[in-house]
């Protein structure tokens, strides 16, 4: 049973965490390149927020949004 858990630990440490070790070493030389994935996610979130805001404005212009507090029975 001990060999099973050691093999499991070896799988993660020796193989699956290698990209994380590479990013950790890369951060010492180039912070921007090491965090490129974070910047991609930030840009995706900004794009989603802009799209969502535009859609909210479209519904507001068409008077299709319901902004009263009695929209749900538990609020009124």
pLDDT digits (tens, 9 = 90+) for 14-35: 999 998 889 889 989 999 988 9
Is it the case that residue 76 has pLDDT exceeding 60? no
CA distances from 15 to 2, 7, 21, 25 (A): 19, 11, 10, 16
| Predicted local confidence at residue 64, as pLDDT | 81
- How confident is the model over 46-65, as a mean pLDDT? 92
Q: How confident is the model at residue 70 (pLDDT cuts 50, 70, 90)?
A: low
| Predicted local confidence at residue 75, as pLDDT | 64
Distance CA 35, CA 46 (A): 17
Is it the case that residue 37 has pLDDT exceeding 90? no
pTM of the model: 0.59
């Amino acid at each position: 049973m001990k060999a099973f858990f050691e093999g499991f630990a070896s799988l993660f440490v020796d193989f699956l965490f290698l990209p994380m070790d590479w990013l950790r070493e890369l951060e010492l030389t180039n912070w921007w390149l090491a965090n490129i994935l974070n910047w991609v996610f930030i840009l995706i979130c900004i794009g989603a927020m802009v799209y969502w805001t535009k859609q909210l404005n479209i519904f507001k212009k068409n008077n299709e949004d319901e902004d009263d507090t009695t929209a749900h029975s538990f609020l009124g």
